[in-house]
Amino acid sequence: MVALPFIVAGGGIGGLAVALVLARQGHAVQVLEQADALGEIGAGIQLGPNVFRIFEHLGLTEPIRRVAYFPPNLVMRDVRTGELVVRTAVGEQALAAYGQPYGVIYRADLHQVFLDACRELPAIALHVKSKVTGFAPREGGVEVQLADGRRVQGSALIGADGLWSRVREQIVGDGKPRVSGHIAYRAVLPMQDVPPHLYSPDVTLWGGEKTHLVHYPLRRGELFNLVAVFHSDRYEEGWNTFGDPQELHLRFAQAAPHVKELLNKIETWKMWVLCDREPVANWSQGHVTLLGDAAHPMLQYLAQGACMAIEDAVTLGAALRAAPTDIAGAFRTYQQARYLRTGRVQLTARFYGEIYHASGVMRELRNRMFQSGSEAAGFIGTHWLYQGIDPDRPFD
């Protein structure tokens, strides 16, 4: 009897990563993506050394390196005064302890690397226009329900369907995501549109009261990525809509001239209402589990959501390799290995948001503490994160 495929709900970075891992282990995989086409929005994301360890394990280092950009430093400045708060070198030498670099990448390029790798494997079937609405356990597997009435039979279901996961709704049932009150405006400029005096090769964060701006080059330095974040209770929830430049300029009214000049370079911003959830210890039910933002959505202040989804994928693969005939047990092992690490990222990300957006005494303290530390001290708080997991033994 031919085994039923593993069904993956969602063809984002997490969904494709787990499809790749499972297919390479000999499983048939069906990816069900609700959108009309597979792809990612154009914006930058940062990739810590921990995820480069996973790329190496997956044999994807070369294609990633071809499209990534490697900044020399992570820099924090005060948004009002422009003063340097902290500079942390992240070039290859600085990160020798991890044996991996710190990079940034265009999301669409990262997604494409996974898509190309998936398309090489006939065991993976990629379906678009396939919105998952629910599931029902079946003897030895699961039946997945789609919005158009179709029913798909699988040996297991992995909900990689993001922040508003339908699969999570059925397993965890914790309602809507938590609206943080933080809004992100994102834009990407061709590098030729960035005047030399506004350019920096670093990942630079301008932190200020309830606001910050991040910028860095992308795609081998051909693009320039900007993310402006501010607090606002004007928005409830949403994803990928257009921002209002007037509001942005108002929020950054106190910013240094350099920052204002940069913001003025952009005419069209894409807007995100930033949400997360409380960490949970259980996100599996029998032959169904969650992965990536569906399992542990986080604010972006540690720049790790996609990295965690990719770590999840290899951990899940390792759990199934260790117990190939016990899918429910393997899903429990996987979540046991992941929930504290991902929960720590969820909670630490909130705290980093507070630090970036500090005002008054907290801002003074932040600046002094960072300014008095050594460069190497910049990694002390994140060592647990950047050292990563051992992809061969992720349960240790």
Residues that bind ligand FAD (CB under 6 A): 9-15, 32-35, 45-46, 131-132, 160-163, 166, 184, 227, 272, 292-294, 300, 303-307, 309
Residue 72 or 323: the one with the smaller Cβ distance to ligand FAD is: 72
- State yes or no: is 301 an active-site residue: no
How far apart are alpha carbons 27 and 16 in whole angstroms? 14
Residue 362 or 384: the one with the smaller Cβ distance to ligand FAD is: 384
Give the CA distances from residue 240 to residues 43, 186, 382, in Å, rounded to whole numbers and listed in that order: 11, 10, 29
Residue 323 or 387: the one with the smaller Cβ distance to ligand FAD is: 387
Q: How far is the CB of 300 from ligand FAD (least distance, A)?
A: 3
From 102, 216, 334, 356, the catalytic residue: 216
Q: How far is the CB of 299 from ligand FAD (least distance, A)?
A: 8
Q: Is 62 exposed, middle or buried (0-12, 13-18, 19+ CB in 10 A)?
A: exposed
Q: How far is the CB of 291 from ligand FAD (least distance, A)?
A: 7
Q: How far is the CB of 185 from ligand FAD (least distance, A)?
A: 9
Q: How far is the CB of 12 from ligand FAD (least distance, A)?
A: 2
Q: How far is the CB of 229 from ligand FAD (least distance, A)?
A: 8
Residues labelled as active-site residues: 216
